Amino acid sequence: MRARALAGAAVAALITLVTAEVALRLSFLIPVSIPSSPFIPDDELGFKLRPSGLTDADGFNNPRSEETPAPARIAAPNTIVFVGDSFAFGTYPADAVFPALVATDLGSEGIAARAVNLGIPAAGPDIYVRAMRSYLPRLQPAAVVTTIYLGNDVGQSDPRRPTTLWFGQTINDGASFSLDPDDFVITRMVSRLWRLASEFLASRAAQGPVTPDPAEADRSSSPFSQTTLDRVRWQELNVARIRPDASIARGYDGLEKHLEQMAAIARQNDVKFLVVLAPSRAAIDPELRTHVIAAFDADPGDFDGGLPARRVGDALTARGIPFIDLTAALVAAGPERVYNRGDTHWNRRGNAVAAEAIAVALKPMLATP
């Protein structure tokens, strides 16, 4: 009798798990808008920011004025479209973020240019492809600049982990109906929770808020706590592992395919294409990298901060895709002086440094008066 009851309970538990697994996988296919979420579903892009006082009418970080209408209506000779995630969108008002600064720098060189910022926070390279496919035919720009943030764009290029809007939140998951153990959503969720708990317990950093920098007073994002900031930096260092895990290995391959797609879309629209490789601070700041690795009891010998930029740069060179690696410019300016103190993005100085380097690379691509 007891054996029969246990068997019945086991069958019921199995049915519950299977039902939950199927429901979770199906839920990734259903775009749901949550009023309190800053994100909204978008048929063309997958998702984007909900328009607000911090964005233009389309949810992008462009000035809201009659002189600069919504991106879907902009078209001009030397219009430059900027595609990317929160690095392109920026954590400051539009005129202090590198797309607008590039246009200003080019103007000082006698090249009239207009920047259109299509950066979408939390987006990955698959969404960059969709943005280029959607907006280039309408905008007919002279050039498109795609910023690859090496801290997370490699991981987000894993075809098994696309960035998805799930009940108002962005997560790196997707609807796969394979029976590969690595694709079971419940298993991944449990694994993710375990990893987060382990990282939280492993980190020996202070848990209080990061001391604010007065120069970052007009940031549009809130600063992380020190523990959260260390955890994010630790996750970003995964891409710099000399022996990457399976997901990061798939991500490198996926990123190369996405870049090929972007280059093809640019050619089809007769648009010049430039890729910008943006390293994380932990990748270019040896002292910070040592701190983060020590906080999580890892072996420094397992990491190579320059590996992500070299690997992606080599892939771009092999394909003949123009690119600029910002590592040297950011290191020369001082890594501790170009990133926000309270998160992983560039501060005002970092945006200016990036803009200057990008403008130099774009200048020969653009028609001069």
| Rounded Cα–Cα distance for residues 5 and 8 (Å) | 5
Residue 271, pLDDT > 80, answer yes
Confidence bin at 218 (pLDDT 50/70/90): confident
Residue 23, pLDDT > 80, answer no
Let me know: does 282 contact 292? Beta carbons within 8 Å.
yes
Cα angle, residue 265 at apex, residues 262 and 271 outer, rounded to 5°: 100
| Terminal Cα distance for the chain, rounded | 90
pTM of the predicted protein model: 0.85
Confidence bin at 180 (pLDDT 50/70/90): low
CATH 2.40.50.140 for the 31-365 domain, yes or no? no
Confidence bin at 36 (pLDDT 50/70/90): confident
**What's the whole-number mean pLDDT along residues 308-333?**
98
Residue 4, pLDDT > 90, answer no
